[in-house]
Structure 1
């Protein structure tokens, strides 16, 4: 999950209005945070505590910024990630200065037509301390330094990359890709062995050899077909995967992509331009049904049985009837908010289809995923409208925001090259963050 500091700028265009609306209600000033238990930990990440006060403060900040998610849930997730990022920075000897943080605060505020002092004054009126805002900015800056130091040398953009990106963004055309996949699962100490095998496979350039490895090592439903996937629009791939695939020539394989309890690799078999632009998606609705037993024959058999008994996400409520509420989860998320392993699995599915190659709880729980529907983003006349492609998304709202006027379009080679490089760096950073989270000891109270 990328930091909110990189995912909120479009919303910051209206931040003045957001603050005006948010501050109409009475607020609790930071100085009043003296209640018993407010500074007790709610989470520990490798021993580093996140206090209830920090959680409350971050949630209030996200409310004021109108974050597109439940603020308390997102705040907890962000603060866990902030601890992981800080620990990674400390391990590499990376720090940021007070001047850098101040400049970051100014830059963030500028996106809403404010300066840092004006923004901090509004935040304080809303009950959010300057330290909370500073910590929010610090986390984004320090992660940028960590990922640049760790992955910057691995990011390059070729003329072929630019040509493919121009084709993907040009009017009247789209891009679709033909991929093969391998997802190698591991448990506990098996990660090192799985990653070593993945690095070997990443050097393969033969589609036949890649398929042979898929049949032997992959945990997906496509393993018996050698990992072969059908043609897919590039826009249907998860955000973490698109820049990696666009950087490949036919026959080449992505670098190993760390997931939760697994390592993924993808081989590009072919790439084509189409006569019409492929739709992009602003939101994906899906359901997750949790089956104990991991990848055991019994759990997989149960998943197959459920898949045969259900046609829509609503059918899963009948399957889960009489069981604990947390056995079934259903929701709608932006593509960038979906965990990479789930996003990769969902990318193969049409509404009503299921997959069961994702696990949780260290491989002890099998996750049956069902695609409920995708909200299609249609760009027209400088606006972006999110429209559902399935009746299951029926909240009656259409999200329309002013577009950037084709921010990445045109033939500005330097700007396009920077955007491609930034996306690739972000994909490496997301994979690294998932790896850190998988390896961390996280205790939630």
Structure 2
């Protein structure tokens, strides 16, 4: 709704030139069309709301959708009043000022233009009033439990998922060595050229991929583009949803990627500058013995610090703990670390005949000014929206809604 206000100026200008006819002139305008827990919603109210939403350029501005919106708002206001919430005249005036200001107008100017288009000023007041009732109820009911902790905000910033472009990928990771490089390249080309659906990609991932995501059909969670190695970024940006990349050689493995979704709606750009990770070397490469040893270690430990006990008495080069800039990491390691949360492990990579047991200890970020507050507000709004949707569904299921 708020985004539609950007186009409101042009729409209001059209209203001033010519008022449109009524959207719903049939029947008695003040007869209730629907009764919600004993409160009637009239033809006039639904017609007015449809006109108002149409003027704003909002979606679902037809009469049927406006009817459902008015039912929802009636339930919301009833619930707010039952919770003891009442709006003051000052709060309502402030809400109207805020809304009209989005079109660069005073409330009186906004109402005058609406009335020229056949929309009563009371329709605007009701729209603002109902929204304020619901907002206060949701904040009162869910605000404390929805508010994110500082640790949650820090984790969101560290993951780089609060801004910029994020991608939702599936992967097929094919480990390569000097001995099997040609064979892996041929398989990667074949898969890239023949996979034509997400289902086929999932099947191939389970069959061929050696990444931990293989058992999920290659599906990995949202990643910020800033976390990915440049060769992969170039491939991903050329894809549309459902398309498969060309093979991407990342050193220790060749990757194929399917783009499931792309999100550019972040409120602010945050960038993980460095990562803190531990690497424990297990002799035997990707042999069954080495992989079994890695599984045993993973079952025993919870954090990077626990690896010091595993490596006790062994040569110092067996275990390393490193803080490095993302830009300085080789592509294969950077890609694996991008997929990990704190204290998660990757066993995809090898080096010098050793299996690399790589564990992410943490990320080091330098968010832009104001990012912490912006991300906190974003997380709060997302949770409040989720709680509000669930609560509204409960109100509807418990309500008595009858045709008038």
Superposition TM-score, scaled by structure 2 size:
0.50
Larger helix share, 1 or 2: 2
Greater gyration radius = 2
Superposition TM-score, scaled by structure 1 size:
0.46
